[in-house]
Structure 1
Amino acid sequence: MEQSVVSVDVVTLRFWPEDAGVTIGIAPRGHEPFTGELALPGVLLGRGERLAAAARRAVHTKLGVPDAAIGAVGQLVTFDEPHRDPRGPTLSIAMWAVVAPHEGPAQWVSFDATPTLAFDHNRIVEDSRAVLARLLWKDAVFTRAMLGAEFPATRAVELSTSLLGLRPDPANLNRTLAALPGLERTTERRRTKPTGRPAAVWAFTSDEPSWAE
């Protein structure tokens, strides 16, 4: 039986202070197959290489993100359709990575405006969005990587809207935040828009988030 090659394809997430929503990084492929077509950053898993290391390598080499700007990394979904790669059987392990502000050549697009991508990368984006939506407010590492050590409530609304595809009810979101261990509402209020009331600021109280689904 022909052996499958293992690739690591990364849904690279950007949610910088100036961003109103989450975007994902894509770039043109530099070689066959699908030369010049847009794709998620991906690499073949090296012998003895860990998934997180391969994901960081893909983000650095394919999107031009400096190593220091690549934050937390985690695993999403495995795609095993035998014909997903015209070169032969390839098992794709999708990963997520969060990147900090930096200068680079990558193109950033929203989940709702993702163009046609090479391979089955549109399906990877679609399926991964659902997984990321489930991780939000349940996986401390992912949630903190996206929002930082402290954040105004408006950022939580924007993040939730981007991943879930709909705007959350503010009262329900506040109850969700209040129930998370190690996350507290501070006395600070921060204006994030020219008009409207200043938003409450939430902060993580521990350097080592531990809650999980």
Structure 2
Amino acid sequence: MIESTPVSVDVLVVRFDPGERTVLLGVAPRAAAPFQGKLALPGVLLRVGERLREASTRAVVTKLGLSSEALSGTGQLTTFDEPSRDPRGPTLSIALWATATSSGEGVRWYRLDAVPPLAFDHDRIVADCRPLLANRLWRDVEFTAGLMGNGFTTAQALDVTEALTGERPYPANLGRTMERVPGLRRTAEHAAALPKGGRPPSLWRWD
């Protein structure tokens, strides 16, 4: 009889922190062996009949302690099939993204370019999936809206783009890209006044 390979779902939970002006990745210490106590992405084994989105939500809730209401979106990224990725035996890992609207209490948040060493092959998952996340920004409406929130400024859009791509785009070029995103529009509203005066930045919103 042919044995099936277990499938795990590992989630890259990201949120934009306006104070830090960057995108942060959520990880937490593992509660059990292997790699007990070492930081890892939230992950679970896929149950029979379970959908990937359901598993990703379960992973975030049980491993990071975030509520399901704190998640503003989730989706699939790619699959990792290195046979030795798990010391317990061969497993497939399906990597998913999730956007969060709150920080939670048990989550440890790190900049994408400053994530400490992680358990399993999670370092590779983060490295390989970062450009996939960058490619979704301003193309995937669910991901972009989940990360940016309903109202944001051009400066915040620049911060998020730089955090994911590693390069800060020209504001005019980014503005033209944002104008082509379905459902996104520049409004006549303005953000709070700047501390040192000056014209408050205009806000972008989703229809």
* TM-score interval, normalised by the smaller of the two chains: over 0.9
Whole-angstrom distance in 2 between the partners of 1:97 and 1:140: 13
Kindly report which structure 2 residues correspond to 1:13-92, keeping only aligned pairs within 5 A, or say none. 13-92=14-93
**How far apart are residue 198 of structure 1 and its match?**
2.1
Distance in 2 of aligned mates of 1:74 and 1:11: 10
User: How many matched pairs?
Assistant: 205
Partner of 1:132: 133
Aligned to 1:3: 4
SS of 2:113's partner is: helix
In structure 1, C-alpha distance between the alignment counterparts of 2:175 and 2:53, rounded to whole Å: 32
Q: Distance in 2 between matches of 1:177 and 1:164?
A: 16
Task: State the distance in 2 between where 1:103 and 1:129 align.
Answer: 22
Deviation at 1:20, TM superposition (A): 1.2
**Gap change, CA 1:144 and 1:191, over 3 Å in 2:** same
**Are 1:106 and 2:107 an aligned pair?**
yes
- Look up the match of 1:163: 164
Change (3 A) 1:181 1:70: closer
Q: Is the 8 A contact 1:16 1:100 kept in 2?
A: no
Contact 2:17/2:24 (<8 A) preserved:
no
Query: Counterparts of 1:105 and 1:177 in 2: how far apart (Å)?
Result: 34
SS at match of 1:133: helix
TM-score by length of 1: 0.91
Q: For 1:139-178, list aligned pairs within 5 A.
A: 139-178=140-179
Distance 1:169 1:111 in 2: 21
Residue type at the aligned position of 1:112? D
Q: How far 1:177 moved relative to its partner? A: 1.0
How far did 1:168 drift?
1.0
Identity %: 51
Q: Deviation string for 1:96-152 (max 9, x for gaps)? A: 111112532110001110100001001111111110000001001111111122211
Partner amino acid, structure 2, of 1:55: S
TM-score, length-scaled by structure 2: 0.93
Structure 1 stretches lacking a partner, 5+ long? 206-213
- Aligned 8 A contact 2:161 2:169 in 1: yes
